[in-house]
């Protein structure tokens, strides 16, 4: 099976390495005539510098890659959404190879070149949470699903940021050769065969340092210390000693969201932490995190993470044997 990964200057190294590792691991189990044949293709052949400074050797440029790939993936990069101009011949090549492939898609914001080639129109797609607003604005005919880790729409596969490329490629291997092989690869790489929930479960809002004195940091400390209580905007403004009007304006600017949305996110993050690290009953977790009851917590989980609190906890309970277990048998 011919697999092409399109690699552009400034690519995120993991957007290339993660798919290559998944498919290379698959090759360890597959017969010689069934393996994935991986080729890196760029705008030019030779050395491509990654965003982290690492250099990749790209075997060929797109003009000299004339074979028809079975699977075409475009790797993302931090600066890729800023690029609005690509050679017309490259976009034509990308469109033609995608149309002829059994499957095509992107890792992270590799969706942007696909969009410039007209390959996202009318399709359900996702990308890194940081770039989805720009994806929506730039390609209004795409049906963007911001919280999905990966999406399939017909022959098109798209994934969220960086390591979500592992989820995507495990799904592709499972489709080709079955769930058992994908599970073996997941165990080899020590990753989940399929992560429940969406991108919002990987929240940046609990990463504030303990000594920071920004408005957001102060509010975060106050919220976590009074998590089980009702928290109004007036209370939060009092906690940072500013007027409600000033607080709402400054907080929204610094946090990129409203105070009420921030409180809801902290409640959810704290709830996840308790589910991951304790055996507390669900109703106790709900109370400690400021939910009215376990049913409200369940509703929030279903809406925000596309899973239930019980299933979320179980996933972490099941993870330890998979990580600690022996290498899967070839039998």
* pLDDT tens over the chain, length 331 residues: 999 999 999 999 999 999 999 999 999 999 999 999 999 999 999 999 999 999 999 999 999 999 999 999 999 999 999 999 999 999 999 999 999 999 999 999 999 999 999 999 999 999 988 898 899 999 999 999 887 888 889 999 999 877 888 888 988 998 899 878 887 888 888 775 555 555 554 444 444 444 557 788 888 889 989 999 999 999 999 988 989 889 988 888 877 778 898 898 889 888 988 887 789 999 999 999 999 999 999 999 988 878 899 988 887 665 443 333 333 333 2
Provide the CATH topology of domain 2-195. Answer: Rossmann fold (3.40.50)
- Average pLDDT of the chain, as a whole number: 86
Q: Write down the CATH superfamily of domain 202-317.
A: Homeodomain-like (1.10.10.60)
**What are the structure tokens assigned to 216, written together?**
């957001």
Residues ≥6 apart with Cβ < 8 Å to 65: 4, 39, 41
Q: What are the pLDDT digits (tens) for 6-38?
A: 999 999 999 999 999 999 999 999 999 999 999
pLDDT per residue over 97-143, tens digit each? 999 999 999 999 999 999 999 999 999 999 988 898 899 999 999 99
For 143, list phi and psi in degrees, rounded to 5.
-100, 85
Identify the burial level of 27 via C-beta atoms within 10 angstroms of its C-beta, where 0-12 means exposed, 13-18 middle and 19 or more buried.
Answer: middle
- Partnered with residue 114 across adjacent β-strands are none
Map out the domains of the chain as residue ranges.
2-195, 202-317
DSSP state of 41: E
Site of tokens 């697999």: 3
- DSSP secondary structure string for all residues of 311-322: HHHHHHHHHHHH
DSSP 327: P
């Amino acid at each position: 099976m011919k697999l092409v990964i399109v690699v552009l200057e400034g690519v995120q190294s993991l957007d290339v390495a993660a798919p290559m590792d998944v498919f290379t691991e698959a090759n360890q189990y597959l017969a010689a005539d069934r393996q994935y044949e991986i080729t890196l293709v760029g705008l030019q052949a030779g050395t491509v510098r990654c965003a982290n400074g690492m250099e990749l050797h790209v075997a060929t440029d797109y003009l000299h890659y004339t074979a028809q790939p079975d699977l075409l993936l475009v790797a993302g990069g931090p600066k890729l959404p800023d690029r609005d101009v690509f050679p017309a011949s490259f976009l034509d090549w990308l469109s033609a190879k995608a149309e002829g492939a059994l499957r095509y898609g992107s890792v992270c914001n590799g969706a942007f070149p696909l969009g410039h080639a007209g390959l996202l129109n009318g399709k359900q797609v996702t990308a890194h949470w940081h770039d989805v607003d720009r994806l929506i604005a730039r390609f209004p005919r795409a049906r963007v699903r911001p919280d999905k880790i990966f999406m399939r729409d017909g022959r098109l596969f798209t994934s969220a940021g960086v390591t979500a490329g592992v989820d995507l490629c495990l799904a592709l291997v499972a489709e080709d050769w079955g769930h058992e092989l994908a599970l073996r690869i997941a165990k080899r790489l020590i990753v989940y065969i399929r992560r429940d929930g969406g991108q919002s479960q990987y929240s940046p809002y609990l990463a504030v340092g303990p000594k920071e004195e920004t408005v957001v940091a102060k509010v975060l400390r106050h919220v976590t210390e009074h998590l089980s209580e009702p928290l109004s905007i007036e209370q939060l403004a009092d906690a940072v000693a500013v007027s409600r009007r000033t607080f709402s304006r400054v907080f929204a600017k610094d946090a990129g969201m409203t105070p009420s949305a921030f409180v809801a996110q902290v409640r959810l993050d704290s709830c996840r932490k308790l589910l991951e690290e304790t055996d507390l009953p669900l109703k106790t977790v709900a109370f400690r995190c400021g939910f009215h009851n376990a049913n409200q917590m369940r509703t929030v989980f279903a809406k925000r993470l596309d899973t239930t609190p019980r299933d979320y906890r179980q996933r972490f309970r099941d993870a330890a044997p998979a990580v600690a277990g022996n290498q899967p048998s070839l039998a």
